[in-house]
Amino acid sequence: MSETEKISLRYQGIDIWPDPEIAQTLWEGQIGAIASVRGALNAIARAAQAISSQLLQFSGRLVYVGAGSAGLLAMQEGMEMNPTFGWPLNRTLFLMAGGDGARLSPSGHHEDDGISGHEKIISEKILGDDVVIGVSASGNTNYTVAATESAARHNNLTNKDMLCERSEPQHIRLLDEPGLKG
């Protein structure tokens, strides 16, 4: 079981803590999450440069892949591309484990379906000009990993796997994977 799926002893009884202590704890968690990204800033900057170059040079799509809460956050990020940056709606695609229905009622079993992630890349005709961003809190969500691996095999620019798990921030591997262009 990944760290993101385990119940932390640190938060036992949080439902009966005083409100100021809950607020302080939530704030500390966010500060820790932000600090964990520091070691990956250069990789993130390289990825941003490669992604923008790819998308501006070719007519590919920006494809977000995810499951559960991480997938919903990816979708929220992608939804801002048009109003904030004028990115064409027809060049943005969201692949969510469980399909459109999972956006309003997510089910944990869909994220374990790697075959579905692979098949979705094929059925959506993700081509070499497309950029695929897989988002997974644990970094090992079967749907997301299978989809990004399938996209990478089809010569897409992909982040392969970007982990948000604090215990292993070095796993943010962007464009360092063999076979990825960018």
Contacting residues for 91 by C-beta, under 8 A, at least 6 apart: 55, 59, 60, 61, 62
Whole-number Å distance between alpha carbons of 3 and 162: 15
Tens-digit pLDDT profile for the chain (182 aa)?
A: 666 667 788 889 999 999 999 999 999 989 988 888 888 888 888 888 888 888 888 888 999 999 888 889 989 999 999 999 999 999 999 999 988 888 777 667 788 888 999 999 999 998 888 989 888 877 788 999 899 888 888 766 665 434 333 334 333 444 333 333 33
For 11-29, write each residue's pLDDT tens digit.
899 999 999 999 999 999 8
State the DSSP H helix or E strand holding residue 50, giving kind and residue range, or none if neither: helix 41-57
Tell me whether strands 162-163 and 131-136 are parallel, antiparallel or unpaired: parallel
Cα-flanking dihedrals φ and ψ of residue 35, to 5°? Answer: -65, -30
Asked whether 174 and 159 are in contact (CB, 8 A), the reply is yes
Out of 5, 28, 111, 124, pick the active-site residue. Answer: 111
- Distance (Å, whole) CA 143 – CA 58: 27
Gap between the Cα atoms of 165 and 167, Å rounded: 6
Is 111 among the catalytic positions?
yes
Catalytic residue among 77, 80, 119, 165: 80
Q: Topology of 40-171 in CATH?
A: Rossmann fold (3.40.50)
C-alpha 142/C-alpha 136 separation (Å) is: 9
Task: Select from 144, 168, 171, 165 the least CA-distant residue to 8.
Answer: 165
The pLDDT tens digits of the residues spanning 87-113 come to 999 999 999 998 888 877 766 778 888
* Structure tokens belonging to residue 112: 């374990």
Query: Could you say which DSSP state residue 7 is in?
Result: P
CA distance 71 to 94: 9
Domain boundaries, the chain: 40-171
